[in-house]
Structure 1
């Protein structure tokens, strides 16, 4: 016990640190499901299709809803590939929680190649097949 003097009064203080200390080699415990979510890739989105609203020049891309048994997919991210579907894709930082997203596209412009990426808890991405958007 240590005595601390505050003004004219003395206060006794006892500190026990041993119970709070963690050995340097201790590792946080993870459940099997947490480890699986970090190491197993989410399934690739399927069933991509698009609609086009000419009045607003808006493309809406939709895909099959997440299977209720899918415990790996946390969200989706859109990707834009090009100038061909085999070229690398720019993956957006936009997070999509549902199964559709929209973007603007003027008619009679070059095709846009879109992929949707499923993301797991460890931020691993699994891409869909490329969808060619022409309007």
Structure 2
């Protein structure tokens, strides 16, 4: 194996490692995006339930200022929590897209290194085949010249 072929094989192994690492980062980003999406759905459901309960409690009852203020405060807290979950989910989606792009780029680099290694191996095999053919031809010529002629 030539030094160039050894170097390309080493680059190929490094690219494979980088590809595996990027695949792991991408999988983790997908899991985080899924988890944040679930948390966002739960926050929306909790907020919707709070709004429903606040709406049903307020209709037709005597005003109770303290209860209304507590309900408003709770709904405000639920709304802020939902907004925070939305921001976390948006960030997770962006991270997933970036991880997917990194994974794809790593795949392209890995494929390119493998292609270069295959070309180098093909060229080295061709050189060996030509050398072997040339040596075989020289041997045959020498044998033919050495044979006694009648």
TM-score normalised by L of structure 2:
0.21
Structure with the larger strand share: 1
Larger Rg: 2
